[in-house]
Chains A and B, each alone.
Chain A
Amino acid sequence: MRLSKDTAFGLLAVVLAGTYWHAADDIQRSFLSDEVGADGVPKLLATTLGILGVIVLARTVGSRHTASDDRPPLAAHLRALGLLLLCGAYVALMPIAGYFVATMALICTVTVYAGQPLGRGVVITALAGSGMLWLVFDHLLGVSLPPGFWLRALA
């Protein structure tokens, strides 16, 4: 059985409310706490979210799928997932390989992934783009960017 978008949204809201309530219940008690307590507002939010989620679910019961329930093709979601993985790899790689190399790799791979054929132009653009960003952030704005193992070894 295929869930409608609204049903899935309502279910997600209820699950999130339950999980959040559980996490709020684990908040440490403090003798400095006020009357409401550190968990007071979170529990109120969880309850409200749960109720709203149930209302969304109740509304969807018996209602037919509408035109707005049309889903984008799975391929589009998979493309998005691929890009997300590339970004995740960048985040993981940056502290090890350093900002310059990681950013160059990000520009290069994302450009190719988004449909540009791999060629000298892409590599040069990635190299120049990464260098320019490094100059702006590291030199102009004084942000301490990760140098990477290779620069550390050279130093």
Chain B
Amino acid sequence: MQELQLAWQALTSGLAIPATVFGVIWGTLACALPGISPSIAMALLLPFTYAMDPVPAIVMLSGVYVGAEYGGSIPAILIRTPGTNAAAATVIDGYEMNRQGKAGQALGISLISSLIGGLFGLVLLIVLTEPLARVALAFTPPAYFALGVLGLSIIASLSEGSVLKGLIAGIVGFMIATIGTDPMSGVPRFTFGTADLLSGVRPILIMVGIYAVSEMLAQVGSPPWAKTDARETRLVLPGWMMTKRLFKPQAIGAVIGALEGCVPGGGGTVAAFLAYNEAKRWSKKPDEFGHGSPEGVAAPECANNVVTATTLVPLLSFGIPGSNSAAVLLGALLIHGLAPGPLLFERSADVVYGLYGGLFIANIVMLLVGLVVLTPCIWLVNRPKPYLIAFILAVVFSGVYSIDQSVFDLGIVLAAGVLGYGLRYFGVSSLPVVLGVVLGYMVESNYRRSLVLSAGDPMVFLQNPISLGLLLVAAVLLVFSLVRERRVAMKASI
């Protein structure tokens, strides 16, 4: 009760509530532009927090984070372009629903699932910060390696009928992740003498190319779209039956998001993909996944929004930023002379409880912003196809250029677009490539770190209980997927 009072006082004593509202609006709209990541959206506002009191400054940035993680799903559903890395899994079924004239329904599911995820994560943050923080500390390089392998293992079940081709696509993604400076020795790899490649290839460039650019390349040669029904251009919130159906995938997303969020480096992207995969596995209608399943939108959206709250667990408890966005928030805390750690809860309880209250308000504001902006967004993407293709490309290129002000990045996006188009041609899912790009660095660097720490003994991966557990789960998932594919193939041949 005292904590509630503290939160209320912190929020009402200054400009905290308006700052939160502004933060959410800024985050949602900025991250609806491809290329603007949550951390960029937060960093852009960071200079403005110098002159602010600590509570409004911190809650404004956390509001940006909440809005940004949600905003990324809007272009993912409407134009097949994930606004953020974490929204990549939403593309799969969200865009399919859009193509079936259910954009409003997909956006409604995404909005409500994000809200549920955000609020669930907040409850966990308040109640379970201490035990969850222990999970974060238990993660060592072998466990991170195993976590990456677990993420890669879902390639098998996301390969849409051909595990072999999916594995090849996953390796291609992993190959892209090896471009840049070697994580251990620092020597350049596959940079071909270009300084632009020294820092590697950002996953968002590959995602934007593979999803958005390849889609535009395919669309320009296909017939014009049918005229859209006016009813299909409105936001549709899930009804009672749909809410019941979405409960299970949302619960799966919530649990996976909670665990991934409190592990530094895990992040919303891995959580979203794992949640998608598990939702598919436990669904009564697994065949709908990949063809416009509402559950396929709910699970990843719930998961990546739980992460927005649980990623603050290691940040507040130990000062470990689990993601780029958490690092920006850490910067804001330090600017105001607040050192994260156990003492933060004692010395600056107003800031901590103000942050909790701010996150609650941010989630509610996210819902309101969604209700206001989504219908115009759907209307916008139902404009004539030639205009839409031109504007999507212009927005994508502008967003990509804004990341590093690099024309070279635009070239990478075009190359990724060609890769995506090629994958379509060969009937290969592009998801494994994305997973390979996202997880490649994590897997390789932690694999090699583990071997260095164990003096080259590969048994280190089996001796660490977390690593062993995760590797076993990965093996089970892989075998399960292979057996399922075999059964499907046998049924088809009968």
Q: Contact: A5 with B391, CB < 8 Å? A: no
Task: Tell me, in angstroms, the Cα distance from A34 to B451 when the chains sit together.
Answer: 8
Q: Contact: B221 with A94, CB < 8 Å? A: no
Interface check B120, CB cutoff 8 A:
no
Q: Contact: A80 with B218, CB < 8 Å? A: yes
Interface check A13, CB cutoff 8 A:
yes
A34 touching B187 in the complex, CB below 8 Å, given contacts A68-B427, A129-B394, A141-B30: no
Q: Contact: B386 with A144, CB < 8 Å? A: no
| Selected interface stretch from B125-133, B166-174, B289-297, B308-316 | B166-174
A75 touching B221 in the complex, CB below 8 Å, given contacts A38-B189, A110-B390: yes
Interface check A33, CB cutoff 8 A:
yes
CB-nearest residue of chain B to A6: B426
A106 touching B393 in the complex, CB below 8 Å, given contacts A5-B425, A79-B221, A115-B386: yes
| Selected interface stretch from B247-255, B275-283, B328-336, B402-410 | B402-410
CB-nearest residue of chain A to B391: A129
CB-nearest residue of chain A to B36: A141
Interface check B475, CB cutoff 8 A:
no
A106 touching B394 in the complex, CB below 8 Å, given contacts A49-B171, A52-B168, A116-B384: yes
Q: Contact: A76 with B185, CB < 8 Å? A: no
CB-nearest residue of chain A to B184: A34
CB-nearest residue of chain B to A28: B187
Interface check B216, CB cutoff 8 A:
yes
Q: Contact: A20 with B175, CB < 8 Å? A: yes
Chain B residues with Cβ below 8 Å from A42 are 175, 178, 189-190
Q: Contact: B444 with A133, CB < 8 Å? A: no
Binding site of A, secondary structure by majority: helix, strand, loop or mixed?
helix
Mark interface residues in A67-89 (1 if CB within 8 Å of B CB, else 0).
Answer: 01000100111111011100110
A107 touching B447 in the complex, CB below 8 Å, given contacts A28-B188, A35-B452, A142-B44: no
Chain B residues with Cβ below 8 Å from A91 are 397, 407, 410-411, 414
Q: Contact: B398 with A87, CB < 8 Å? A: no
Task: Tell me, in angstroms, the Cα distance from A81 to B30 when the chains sit together.
Answer: 31
Q: Contact: B220 with A80, CB < 8 Å? A: yes
Q: Contact: A111 with B390, CB < 8 Å? A: yes
Q: Contact: A111 with B187, CB < 8 Å? A: no
Q: Contact: B402 with A137, CB < 8 Å? A: yes
Q: Contact: B220 with A79, CB < 8 Å? A: yes
The 8 Å CB contact of B385, one of A75, A87, A115, is: A115
Interface check B224, CB cutoff 8 A:
yes
The 8 Å CB contact of B184, one of A32, A107, A112, A143, is: A32
CB-nearest residue of chain A to B396: A87
Chain A residues with Cβ below 8 Å from B175 are 20, 42, 45, 49
Q: Contact: A87 with B390, CB < 8 Å? A: no
Interface centre among A5, A32, A99, A110 (most CB of B within 10 A): A110
Task: Tell me, in angstroms, the Cα distance from A75 to B223 when the chains sit together.
Answer: 12
A116 touching B387 in the complex, CB below 8 Å, given contacts A38-B182, A88-B414, A110-B393: yes
CB-nearest residue of chain B to A78: B221
Task: Tell me, in angstroms, the Cα distance from A82 to B447 when the chains sit together.
Answer: 43
Q: Contact: B386 with A116, CB < 8 Å? A: yes
The 8 Å CB contact of A77, one of B221, B385, B451, is: B221
A141 touching B44 in the complex, CB below 8 Å, given contacts A55-B164, A94-B407, A112-B386: yes
The 8 Å CB contact of B178, one of A41, A82, A111, is: A41
Q: Contact: B391 with A107, CB < 8 Å? A: yes
Interface check B389, CB cutoff 8 A:
yes
Task: Tell me, in angstroms, the Cα distance from A80 to B402 when the chains sit together.
Answer: 25
Q: Told that A83-B389, A90-B397, A106-B394 touch, could you supply 19 new A-B pairs with CB distance under 8 A? A: A30-B182, A30-B185, A34-B448, A35-B456, A38-B189, A42-B178, A48-B167, A49-B171, A68-B427, A75-B221, A80-B220, A87-B393, A95-B407, A99-B401, A103-B397, A103-B398, A110-B386, A125-B387, A143-B401
List 22 A-B residue pairs with CB atoms under 8 Å apart, sorted by A's residue number.
A5-B425, A28-B188, A32-B184, A34-B448, A34-B451, A35-B452, A48-B167, A49-B168, A52-B164, A52-B167, A77-B221, A79-B220, A79-B221, A83-B216, A83-B217, A84-B417, A87-B397, A90-B410, A91-B410, A94-B407, A106-B393, A133-B394
Rank and list the top 3 A-B pairs by shortest CB-CB distance, nearest first.
Answer: A76-B221, A114-B386, A79-B221
Which residues of B pack against A, CB within 8 Å?
30, 33, 36, 44, 164-165, 167-168, 171-172, 174-175, 178, 182, 184-190, 213, 216-218, 220-222, 224, 384-387, 389-391, 393-395, 397-398, 401-402, 405, 407, 410-411, 414, 417-418, 421, 425-428, 444, 447-448, 451-452, 456
